[in-house]
Amino acid sequence: MLKDALRRLRKEPLALAGLFLLLLFFLVAPLAPVLSPFSPLEQNISASLTAPGSSYWLGTDKLGRDLFSRMLYGARISVFVGLAVVTLAGTFGTLVGLVAGYRRGWLDETMMRVTDIFFAFPGLILAMAIAGALGPSLRNALIAVAVVLWPVYARLVRGQVLVLREREFVQAAQAIGVGHWGVILRHLLPNVLGPLLVQASFDMGATILTVAGLSFIGFGAQPPTPEWGVMISEGRNYITTQWWLTAVPAGAILLFVAAFNLVGDGLRDLLDPRLRR
């Protein structure tokens, strides 16, 4: 099956390009300290606002910090941000969805009404209120975005489980006496992993965008952290004169998020044959 998926993936150049970009980012992120020519915080006022060139590949900001190094460290932060939020929200939401869909009845009804409440809030406003209340920091922004995100997984998984639980293999497992958790973890969970993976791919991108947005308005990572949203905020007054200050982090966000979206699209097409056109 994996072989088949890879063969089909080869016919999807866009998804393949996305996958390649993702691998690049995931490779570069942990290696940031090795690959960076400078420390991301090291200031060199005499080289302030240098244009991209041979000494500073992507230029420097107003404090003379090397943008290439800051971009690499920013990748490390964004990879961590995406993974942390999606893992937190995905695990909790999946658990809620599995239990709600499997047990049905009042438990399901209550849990779904709770997700309704979360869906009522515009994501960024809720995240901002939580992040602001907890105090602005990258950690709190992550918690805030995870709180906003988990109901998506609860809904998705519950919908899948409602269908799966009527299928013969689940009823057969129940009939031979497999316990509730056995059915949930061994028979239902593996069958919802596909759609979960697609959703997670899109959400990694969306989370990176949201956290960058929170940092941009001051409720996420704080300067001088080399976070991409912070970098755009710091460079905003130089957008027409020293364009690289904002273009470098914005370009990095665009590529990284687009990569997740392309891979998400590709995965969805692979898993859902009806969409394959």
Kindly list the residues in this chain that would bind another protein in the complex (CB under 8 A).
Answer: 113-114, 116-126, 128-136, 205, 209, 212-213, 216-219, 229, 232, 236, 239-240, 246, 250, 253-254, 257-258, 261-262, 275, 277
Nearer to another protein, 60 or 246 (CB): 246
Distances (CA, A) of 20 to 9, 179, 256: 12, 42, 11
- Name the minimum Å distance from CB 155 to another protein: 14
- Name the minimum Å distance from CB 14 to another protein: 8
Nearer to another protein, 43 or 92 (CB): 92
Closest residue by Cα to residue 144 from 54, 186, 81: 81
Residues, the chain, total? 277
- Name the minimum Å distance from CB 37 to another protein: 25
Task: Give the integer Cα–Cα distance in Å for 10 and 90.
Answer: 29
Alpha helices by DSSP H, the chain? 2-10, 13-28, 32-35, 67-103, 105-120, 123-134, 138-164, 168-175, 180-182, 189-216, 228-235, 244-271
Closest residue by Cα to residue 248 from 229, 261, 262: 229
Nearer to another protein, 54 or 240 (CB): 240
Task: Give the integer Cα–Cα distance in Å for 230 and 246.
Answer: 10
Write phi, then psi, for 65 (nearest 5 degrees): -80, 140
Nearer to another protein, 184 or 229 (CB): 229
- Name the minimum Å distance from CB 77 to another protein: 15
Nearer to another protein, 153 or 216 (CB): 216
Q: Tell me the Cα Rg of the chain.
A: 22
- Name the minimum Å distance from CB 216 to another protein: 5
Nearer to another protein, 212 or 221 (CB): 212
- Name the minimum Å distance from CB 49 to another protein: 16
Closest residue by Cα to residue 221 from 73, 12, 77: 77
